[in-house]
A and B are shown apart, each in its own frame.
Chain A
């Protein structure tokens, strides 16, 4: 099944996407009886799985070296050079199809140019034999089951955070949206 899933680099219908996500969860979470195993995230091109491109982070959103200021807590006295620990801030990841679908439906509505829908991709990250970068941790959203923040657990320079997020992105696969 792993080969089948890894070859699935695009989806033409939402049902195609649901089937891929379901296979990944069965293979990397349920079969291994682990809590996380595989995590998912909506990715709007041309952004990478974890870092944003200037002018593609959303109108009015401040970007620091590819990190959106709203996604992490920044030390306000350091001119946005340092991020500080917060167990409810961090890149958003979905643990289930249901949460991923809701998130994708929400972000799709922000992802139009001149009222024309743009591709809304999905990234996935297998966690079974790879650890989250040092000083980072997945923390459950206190308000929503199956929604996790990839948090920082200690004060960290933005360049360190960017390196860690690049490391994560290199390990994530993207399923391209061909529904539009």
Chain B
């Protein structure tokens, strides 16, 4: 996944993936390999929305995550990075389907 110039966003996503014990997300976030299939695309899509719930809770609770308090900003960046990655790799429809399902 492309985290060039956005290492902090990657670190925050990894923090939440560890908290959610999401091994598929962790592997994708830690790798610079762009290989993904439909199952992994669905997993990382679900991970985003699960992470968002935790981030909303942290922001409302005043919890700083890796010294950051503006979780709205970081969740916006991660939404664009993750959905942008899925779009680039041909899995926009997977992202759309999961997003429609959970919203």
- Interface, chain A (partner B; CB < 8 A): 58-61, 68, 70-71, 88, 92, 98, 101-103, 105-110, 141-145, 147
Contact = CB atoms under 8 A, between A and B. Distances in A.
A9 B44 CA distance: 36
B103 interface: yes
Interface string B50-88: 001100100110101000011111011101110111010
Contact of A107 (B2, B72, B83): B72
A143 to B, nearest CB: 4
A102 B62 contact: no
A144 B5 contact: no
Nearest to A71: B73
Contact of B70 (A60, A107, A147): A60
Contacts of A106: 52, 75-76, 79
Nearest to B96: A98
Contact of B56 (A103, A110, A141, A147): A110
A59 B103 contact: no
Contacts, number: 66
B6 interface: yes
Contacts of B92: 98
Contacts of B84: 141, 143-145, 147
B99 interface: yes
Contacts of A68: 70, 73
Given A109-B53, A110-B56, A88 B5 contact: yes
A139 to B, nearest CB: 13
B76 to A, nearest CB: 7
A179 B14 CA distance: 34
Interface in B11-67: 52-53, 56, 59-60, 62, 64
A105 B99 contact: yes
Contacts of B103: 105, 108
A99 B96 CA distance: 10
Contacts of A107: 72
Given A58-B70, A59-B69, A144-B87, A109 B79 contact: no
B80 to A, nearest CB: 4
Contacts of B71: 110
A102 B103 CA distance: 9
A132 to B, nearest CB: 21
Given A109-B53, A110-B56, A103 B76 contact: yes
Contacts of A108: 103
A143 B76 contact: no
Contacts of A58: 59, 70, 72
Contact of A147 (B60, B72, B75, B80): B80
